[in-house]
Amino acid sequence: MIALLLLVLTLGVRFSADENVRLSRLGTFAVSSRDGTVVLLKSDYVSGTDTSHSTLHLLTPLGIEAVCPEHIHASNLIYSAATDNFYFTSPLSGVTGLYALCPRTLRCSPLTDLPVDISSVQLSPDATFLVFSADVYLYTDQTAPLSAAAAETKRLEGLPYSVKAFDSAYLLHWDEELWPEKFRHLFVARIPEKGYIREEDCFDVMPGFEGDAPLKPFGDIETFSISPDSRRIAFVTQVGSSRPWTTNDSIYLVDIETGHDPHASLLPSEPRCLTCDNVGRDAVPVFSPTNSDMLFYLSMREASSESDMLRLQALDVKSGKKSAFLLDYDGSFDSFFISPDSSTLYLSAVEKARSVVYACELDDILENEEFSDACTQVLIGGAISQVVRFEDKLIFSMSSLVHPADIFAAHSHGGEHRQLTQLNAHIMADWEPLHAPDEFYVKSKDDGAMVHSFFHYPQNDFDPEKDECKLVLYIHGGPESPWEDSWSYRWNPQTLVSEGYCVLATNFHGSGSFGEEFQKAIREHWFDIPVHDVMDAWNHVLEHYPFVNREKTCAMGASYGGTHVNWLMGHVDNITCFISHDGIFDLTAFGLDTDELFFPIREMGGLVWDAFETFEKWNPARSAGRFSAPALVIHGGYDFRIHKYHGIALFQALQLRGIPSRFVYFPTQSHWVWQPQESLVWHNEVIGWLHKYLNDE
């Protein structure tokens, strides 16, 4: 009995979806520029519920220490050098407001008394005013827009009916049912010397704007910036009825001329557009820390494109002169920040499925030096985000395919990463070891490009000389979103590996991080070159990994990946089963029923009626008469990117053909399955389907 117990303890806990849900998730963190104090947000699942608590923690030499534990839904954590305080939002009072956390006393104090929820907060560099976002209704009284918004929300909730009448789009966006003329606007608020920030202290920065700031659904404080002299705000928005079919997000500027007078009223100037001449997307405005006239930002050139390359730009806000830099870099920058003395600009990107951070001499950039001369790589991941500099250190979040996110530090000139947090060490210590996948490249027969893949296989009690594994083809979405060396709480290949399966995740043509030409090669070629890439990678696995079963394989994917699966259903006969999550069934219908119409316009080369042949060429519905293999179809009721009717139509086509099929519908979920309980159901359904058709269980 003792020997059996020791064996169980030695083997450890097998990783599973349940274990993944148990993990603490690192949220945002902030670093004091005075002494390097780190405060972080950490979210934890409340067992047996669909609730997670997001709480504040102080990083100490011994680990992390909870602070202000009464705030269980804290968010929007920032730090102000002017006050040496941390700030965050919380709904503790019933309305989400701003709180200050003093790192010396570890006490949290409310700063706002407003009638509506606020988010996306920033303090001005001199700490005289606050910038935040809140929802407004443009048709209400705009002399007190926050009170009017609160009253209108209450009125609408009390109506005995629900009707919406739109004169322009959006109608729906990602997972939100929109209300006509309701937008998210930026506000500035004078911070009083005593008492709370109240509505009379607040002014709408963009009155009357038919647009959101930060942009929905994923915009955050990276979409606006306050100048170092606290006299200007630059923000990104897109205005007007063309928003669903264009990506012309532009940067606007507002002057705050009374920024230094603590007794003056804040009366922002009328916003003026700085980049409306560019038809592509402008993003991430950042003022130079030492020059309030100089604004840096990232920009795309192409119209109606979300997958063009983001390039570094600079703009003199007085003269309007624009300059583009580092154009020889073959990739897209994700974000950047500038050192306090304006000597160094740190650029983040993803290269070959891993994060990289470059330190670039700003003087060299402004002198139009080439990327290789101006920039030096200082970090490489995993998946790196939230990079900040403190003295001679870079502090950042990093995860990988074998480790969830923690906070790390490294020298600002590069070097070894030092892990600062161990958020899940107590859980992971009980696990069987997780192993990094193999990686390989296969030369494309279409254009000679080298196509990258991750190959995961069981490695603990798996003996490749004796055992075999059934293969799962993992097909990513986007289609430009590559499989990266990053941890996932949804499509984590370790959950399938732990069940004894091998997983092949190919970064086919179209995947980001492998260069501009490779990424754009998928346009109007959705299912020729990418399908060849997946099939060639599969053949490589069969040739080099003899323990992989040749007879039974399942293909699964979500979004574009689900659409890819739907296409394979009607065009290959050597795949045992399929799993399609939120995939497109009728591509031609999708060209008009999706929320972001610019996506099919760019991917298919035009509007449905102008590019009809291309839409129909790659339309999975056209080959439904050739479907033959069992398929699991999954869809979310709040997925407005790809409506649930695509999943329903696919399932009914399978049923009409008498093919074993199952439709799993999540009424409350969106393009992804976010909530913990639903996620566990999702994994049970997926793994059950694989067991049934690959293992005959």
Known catalytic membership, residue 671: yes
Q: Return the amino acid letter for 34.
A: R
Q: Which stretches within 445-559 are classed as H helix?
A: 493-497, 516-520, 529-544
Contact 594, 642 (CB under 8 A): yes
* Distance separating alpha carbons of residues 152 and 626, to the nearest angstrom: 52
Residue from 520, 511, 523 nearest 454 by CA: 511
Question: What HEC string does 190-217 produce?
Answer: ECCCCCCECHHHEEECCCCCCCCCCCCC
Return the CA Rg of the chain. 26
Burial of residue 445 (CB within 10 Å: 0-12, 13-18, 19+) is exposed
Contact 252, 246 (CB under 8 A): no
* 3-state DSSP assignment of residue 188: strand
Choose the catalytic residue: 581, 639, 661, 670: 639
Taking each continuous run of H as one helix and of E as one strand, the counts in the chain are 15, 38
Crossing angle of the two packed helices 529-544 and 560-569, in degrees rounded to 10: 80
* 3-state DSSP assignment of residue 653: helix
Which residues lie below 8 Å from residue 409, measured CB to CB, with a gap of 6+?
Answer: 393, 394, 395, 396, 417, 418, 420
Contact 633, 660 (CB under 8 A): no
Residue from 90, 54, 81, 207 nearest 145 by CA: 207
Known catalytic membership, residue 185: no
* Distance separating alpha carbons of residues 28 and 56, to the nearest angstrom: 10
Place of tokens 């405060």: 39
Choose the catalytic residue: 52, 54, 355, 559: 559
- The secondary element (H helix, E strand) that includes residue 566 is helix 560-569
Q: What angle do CA 308, 312, 313 make, to 5 degrees?
A: 110
Contact 317, 417 (CB under 8 A): no
Residue from 383, 365, 381 nearest 373 by CA: 365
Choose the catalytic residue: 71, 671, 679, 683: 671
Catalytic sites, residue numbers: 559, 639, 671
